[in-house]
Structure 1
Amino acid sequence: MTATPVRPEQTRSLSGTLGVGAIVLMVVAAASPLTVIGGAAPLGVLLGNGIGFPAMYAVAGVVLLLFTIGLSAMSRAVPRPGAFFTYIGHGLGRSTGVAGAWLALLTYTAVQLCVYGYIGAILAVTFEGLGVAGIPWWVYSLAVVAVVGVLGYVHIDLSAKVLGVLLIGEILIVLALVVAVLATGGAEGLSAEPFAPSHVLSGAPGIGLMMAIAAFIGFESTAIYRSEAKDPDVTVPRATYVAVIGVALFYTVSAWALIMAWGPSQAIDTVAADYANVVIITMGQYLGPVGYVVTNVLLVTSMFACVLSFHNVLTRYQHSMAGGGLLPIELTWVHKRQQSPYRSSLLQTITAAVLVTICAVLGLDPVLQVFTWFSGVATLAIVVMMAVTAVAVVAYFVRAHTRGRLWSTRIAPVLGFLGLVGFAAAVAVYFPVLVGDVDAEGEPVFGVVSALLVGSIPLFALIGYGQALYLKRFRSSRYARVLDTIADAGA
């Protein structure tokens, strides 16, 4: 492939004709439906609030829908790609916007790394069962990094098609389980017991919320594809609403069906016996041997779809940041033939490979440490970033003296902010549980590992603030380019 740039205006602008369906596929694939139901949901039941866990998807969905109302209003008022960090900059100033940009990089990089760990572990076990033993998990992870890198290099339409096929397969197999449970009545009959307040608030609801919120990470990235959307003012808001509502409904019903499959009285014990394979076992029981095998295959493709989707999101975040002068200008280059941000894609591929290698050198367990630790970091970081964005939305419209849209520009964002602050507090309090930092009574306490992981969030925000101050003082021309992406809303 040749990648010789022509003129700057040709090499720095993304274009495309993605519709609502294609964008929804890209961002919902990032949620990795089968991985959520097969991995996060059992952990939510086991470590969180037991059979009351399905309700957490509904709770998270309501709060995020309120947040999305303000986000969609902002996407129409600020017609630029960049999502959170662009909107934060327009509402709260350039320095805060730059901090948000770096926090976004941390969030999506952490998500991608944790899934690379998980898929490496799954592939190692799968191939060992086929007689190929002795190959460590990180070799498989690096192989997946390479394949994702190739797909990320070419035009995004190909990624959308690949993700679409994989996502449809995931959704169909999970819906098949739901239908089978409904048809058979489950193990103990169908009931709304999981939604009873006594169950929803039992155990450790903070862990339940953490696992539920993780399923939504990536929905806001619809705005990242603005430059490649067919009709961005219509397509982006619609895709965002569809993604949030669809994810909330799908996971609430699917998690409920998982509880019904084993019965409320047996679900927790069943999950505890083999949480890593409980969904596969459930599929085998309700869908037979074919369902068992298909689920095994789709679990791997589900995680592949996840890392491919987040690779595309990260690539475009870097592209937007470079356009605003926050990263090297070379990352704005768009391939002449593929029309993809190929330089940014290559950088992201290298970054993923380096991080996987570091985890391997440190001897981290791919599931218990890489997956669990970094999914926690991503969840807490995204909640903090959304809360700040909600404030930015209100600040922007108040300053713009916008009238007649109080619900979408003030009330809904404020309600969303209050909910997100509550989420952040619950996740932060229970974060040490993820890394095993608990006292003799099993209560969470911040040890070295949990403190370092949580501390990475303010650290990346400070890096952003520091860069903004440095550029303003020593690279004024480059600092001025931040305005290409982030509005001049103050220092």
Structure 2
Amino acid sequence: MSAPTLRKGTLGTADIAFFVISAAAPLTVMAGVAPIALLLGGIGAPVGYLVAGITLAIFAVGFTTMSRHVRSAGAFYAYITRGLGKPVGIAAALIAMLGYNGMEIGVYGLLGSATADTAHALWGVDVPWLPVSLLGLLLIWYGGFRSIDFGAKLLGVLLLAETGILVLLAGGVLLDGGGDGGISFASFSPGNVFVPGMAAVLACAFAAFTGFESTVIYRREARSPERTVPRATYIAVAFLGLFYAFVVWSVIQAFGDAKVVQAAADDPGGLFFSAITTYVGPWAADLMHILIVTSVLASLLAFHNAINRYGLALAEEGVLPPALGRVHPRHRSPYVAGAAQTVLGALVVIGFAAAGADPYAQLLLWVNTPGMIGLMVLQLLAALAVFLFFRRVPHQEGALRTVVAPLVAAVLLTGAIGLVSYNVDLFTGASTGVNVLLVSLVPGVFLLGLLLARRLRRHRPEVYADFAAEPPEDSPGPSSKPVSTSVTL
């Protein structure tokens, strides 16, 4: 009897889009980060989210074009291997593990602090953050243990709830005619866009899209992946870019162009709650508090599922221990990889708690930052890989998709990584030494990956030779691989 595999043909376009958008946690990003963007860039902040969305849409053009030519389960590292060679692909795989684990594990600190804030705001109860975070680890483990369609349905409900409350806020503001001065479109005028703080706004905006590229991770479980994966990618980028810009602009209208920056300075954490209380009612503010917690849970589950599938793919490649490649016979989930990821998360969370760290300012921000930069570096490497891949293989794709889009995306992503790295103190609030260490983790892991590739080539040549190779057309996984078309360096 053959070993169980992931459940094929389960996820449609909407399901994959739910995973990607949920990972971005729109409500948490808006209520928690958008006020900082307003402080940094003024009323032109909505344009920053549009620019980030356009940049990532350009990246998606080449990325999704290449997805029609790559069937490997390895997602980004498979693409990068095809274009840039096995050493860079193996290094990219380690950066992916750093990126997705960093983005998820740090958010357990946010879960603890957000739940504590909600309990205090609604009931005046002080809740310790560590038990909440540990309970969250168990809930997310169970969500990942269950079948992928269970996770898709759950995320669909949670995502509709968190976006619904933001639509309710925007609708209340617009129906009431806004604050002082009425409805204004001054946010989009050049004088308010080309300001010194816009570079920092762009850094915040790019961070708000983190994880959008994870659509290809679900290729093996998608229905008609050649169509559903590109569609889900475009839907996620378009929705996030337009929705973020619209919501931030609506909140500006709630206070008025002349007063919103001061309101954000006076109470950044309460800006959205104040607006929804005024234009919808106190009950909506209470509901928003609760939905921020569920938004964080949805983000955790989305990243957890992505990490598990990366772990599964790397175990099947022979890079990680084979046990991580086991799939549950009933739920068809990578349950061993999920358990290992949960244990890793628990160790990091407990370690930060034992050190007396703040769950938000240190566990969330310090762990998320290298994860965020790592995923942006993956996007840059993938853009370069798209260009080089189509230079070497025969194809019928147009130059706009295979030359212009990936090169433009590479230039823009390089700028975005530079902005985030230069403004890293906005994300961490830490000392220069801590910031240097956090940013250095990404190139450090990349170098470690290159060394691992060298070791595999010398001591496990069969694993190195088959890394990220294409599976046969009828294969559910990457076993029995033919020779890869990537460059062997």
TM-score class, shorter-chain normalisation, is over 0.9
2:132 to 133, 136, 140: 140
1:464 is aligned, of 449, 458, 481, to 449
1:447 aligns with one of 416, 426, 432: 432
Q: Structure 1 residue 480: deviation in Å? A: 3.1
Aligned to 1:186: 178
Amino acid at match of 1:85: Y
Is 1:348 aligned to residue 341 of structure 2?
A: yes
1:170 aligns with 2:162: yes
Q: Does 1:431 align with 2:424?
A: yes
Aligned to 1:365: 358
In the other structure, the counterpart of 1:218 is 211
Q: Deviations over 1:339-397 (max 9, x none)?
A: 11111111111111111112212222122222233333233222222111111000000
| Residue 482 in structure 1 maps to residue 464 in structure 2 | no
Per-residue deviation at 1:193? 1.3
Superposed displacement of residue 90, structure 1: 0.7
CA 1:392–1:371 in 2, change beyond 3 Å: closer, same or farther? same
Distance 1:94 1:370 in 2: 33
Superposition deviation, residue 318 in structure 1: 1.0
- Where does 1:57-72 land on structure 2 (aligned, <5 Å)? 57-72=49-64
1:237-263 per-residue CA deviation (whole Å, 9 max, x = no partner) reads 111111111111111101111111111
> What is the CA-CA distance between 1:131 and the residue it aligns to?
5.5
Q: Is the 8 A contact 1:70 1:412 kept in 2?
A: yes
Q: What are the Cα deviations for residues 5-29 of structure 1, in whole angstroms up to 9, with x where unaligned?
A: x53xx33444242100111111111
* Counterpart contact for 1:17–1:229, Cα < 8 Å: yes
1:55 equivalenced with 2:47 (yes/no) = yes
Quote the Cα distance in structure 1 between the aligned partners of 2:397 and 2:300.
41
1:337 equivalent in alignment to 2:335: no
* C-alpha deviation, 1:118, in angstroms: 1.1
CA distance in 1, matches of 2:49, 2:115: 29
Structure 2 CA distance for partners of 1:435 and 1:246, relative to 1, 3 Å? closer
Distance 1:404 1:64 in 2: 20
- In structure 2, what is the equivalent of residue 116 of structure 1? 108
SS in 1 for 2:467: helix
Moved more, 388-397 or 361-370: 361-370
Matched letter for residue 490 of structure 1: T
8 Å Cα contact 1:15/1:339 also seen in 2: no
- Distance in 2 (CA, whole Å) between partners of 1:35 and 1:127 is 16
Report the more deviating stretch, 363-372 or 110-119: 363-372
8 A contact 1:149–1:346 mirrored in 2: yes
- Residues 428-470 of structure 1: CA distance to partner in whole angstroms, max 9, x if unpaired? 2111343446xxxxxxxx8210010000010111121111111
Query: SS state of the match for residue 280, structure 2?
Result: helix
The amino acid that maps onto 1:84 is F
CA distance in structure 1 between the aligned counterparts of 2:59 and 2:124, rounded to whole angstroms: 49
> Secondary structure, in 3 states, of the residue corresponding to 1:276?
helix
Amino acid at match of 2:437: L
Which residue in 2 is equivalent to 1:99? 91
Equivalent residue number for residue 385 of structure 2: 392
**How many angstroms apart in 1 are the aligned matches of 2:318 and 2:390?**
26
CA–CA distance in structure 2, aligned partners of residues 433 and 128 of structure 1: 26
Shift of residue 202, structure 1, vs aligned partner: 2.3
Following the alignment from structure 1 to structure 2, what is the Cα–Cα distance between the partners of residues 375 and 164? 24
Distance 1:195 1:367 in 2: 32
SS at match of 1:53: helix
Letter in 1 for 2:175: A
Aligned match of 2:479: none
For the residues of structure 1 that align with 2:428 and 2:287, how far apart are their CA atoms? 32
Structure-2 separation of matches of 1:404 and 1:25: 29
1:216-270: per-residue Cα shift (whole Å, max 9, x none)? 1111111000110111111111111111111111111011111111111111111
In structure 2, the residue matched to 1:293 is 286
1:252 aligns with 2:266: no
Pairing partner for 1:237 from 230, 237, 244: 230
Alignment partners' CA distance in 2, 1:400 and 1:326: 27
Alignment partner, residue 261 of structure 1 = 254
3-state secondary structure, aligned to 2:269: coil
User: What amino acid sits opposite 1:49 in the alignment?
Assistant: G
Tell me the amino acid that sits aligned with residue 138 of structure 2: A
Out of 204, 207, 212, the position equivalent to 2:200 is 207
Aligned Cα RMSD in Å?
Answer: 1.7
> Partners in 2 of 1:379 and 1:147 — Cα distance?
24
- The answer on 1:413 being equivalent to 2:417 is no
Q: Secondary structure at the match of 2:68?
A: helix
What are the superposed Cα offsets for residues 4-58 of structure 1, whole Å, 9 maximum, x if unpaired? xx53xx3344424210011111111111111011111112222x31222111110
What is the deviation of 1:203? 4.1
Bigger drift between 243-252 and 366-375 goes to: 366-375
Deviates more, 1:454-463 or 1:269-278: 269-278
- Structure 2 distance, partners of 1:435, 1:293, is 28
1:352 to 1:474, Cα distance in 2 relative to 1, 3 A: same
Change (3 A) 1:219 1:387: same
Given the superposition, is the C-alpha separation of residues 105 and 236 from structure 1 closer, same or farther in structure 2, using an over 3 Å criterion?
same
The 1:20/1:398 distance shift into structure 2, 3 A limit, reads: same
> What residue number does 2:151 align with?
159
In the TM superposition, residue 471 of structure 1 has moved relative to its aligned partner by 0.9
User: Is the contact between residue 11 and residue 332 of structure 1 (CA under 8 Å) also seen in structure 2?
Assistant: no
1:138 to 1:203, Cα distance in 2 relative to 1, 3 A? farther
The residue matched to 1:327 in structure 2 has which SS? Answer: coil
How many residues align? The count is: 474
- Cα distance in 2 for partners of 1:61, 1:294 equals 28
Query: After the TM superposition, which residues 20-59 of structure 1 pair with which residues of structure 2 at under 5 Å, given as runs?
Result: 20-46=13-39, 48-59=40-51
| Aligned residues of 1:178 and 1:257 also touching (Cα < 8 A) | yes
Q: Which stretches in structure 1 are left out of the alignment for 5+ residues? A: 1-5, 438-445
2:81 counterpart residue number? 89
2: CA distance between counterparts of 1:404 and 1:434?
39
**Residue of structure 2 equivalent to 1:442:** none
Residue type of the alignment partner of 2:372: T
